[in-house]
Amino acid sequence: MAVVLGALFLLSSVAIAHELILFPNKVAKKTAVTVIGLGLTAGQEVGLRMMMGGVLSDVSFLAKPAIEKVDAKGRVMASWGVNRELRLLANGDHEIMLVDSDGNTIATTMLTVAKPPKKKK
């Protein structure tokens, strides 16, 4: 994983389009997901949103550190402990949006939820 993240940061030093990456992007149970935004404007205020329970929800504060501002190299990086959100998410793909301070979508990616089967008693 360190090699992957290192390569991503090296790539972020060249001009690239806005990109949002989740690693891993498939979850079935409580999982620490690394959130990486690249190619952004330094100092820009940003947030992370997704539909949960039929409502567009700001999930920026669920990441550690909270996703709030782009660093001097045009990136954001945080760890999101996906856990309680799984109760509100159906199996399948869910769009995650990186948005600016006006709520405009900058970049998107997908989070796939595959809940494990219930244990038989």
Give pLDDT, residue 110: 97
Residues 30 and 82 sit within 8 Å (Cβ to Cβ): yes
Give pLDDT, residue 12: 46
Domain-embedded: residue 118: no
Distance, CA of 114 to CA of 49 (rounded, Å): 20
Tell me the two tokens of residue 8.
């991503």
Domain-embedded: residue 94: yes
Residue 108 domain boundaries? 2-113
Give me the sheet containing 63-64, strands edge to edge.
19-23, 31-38, 76-82, 63-64
Q: What pLDDT, in 10s, does the model give residues 75-107? A: 999 999 998 888 888 899 999 999 999 999 999
Domain-embedded: residue 7: yes
Instruction: Give me the CATH number covering residue 22.
Output: 2.60.40.1930
Domain-embedded: residue 11: yes
Q: Rounded mean pLDDT of the chain?
A: 86
Of 85 and 2, the one with more pLDDT: 85
Of 41 and 14, the one with more pLDDT: 41
Centre a 10 Å sphere on the Cβ of residue 67 and count the other Cβ atoms it contains: 24
Domain-embedded: residue 82: yes
Domain-embedded: residue 91: yes
Domains contained in the chain, number: 1
Q: Is 120 helix (H, G, I), strand (E, B) or coil?
A: coil
Domain-embedded: residue 28: yes
Domain-embedded: residue 120: no
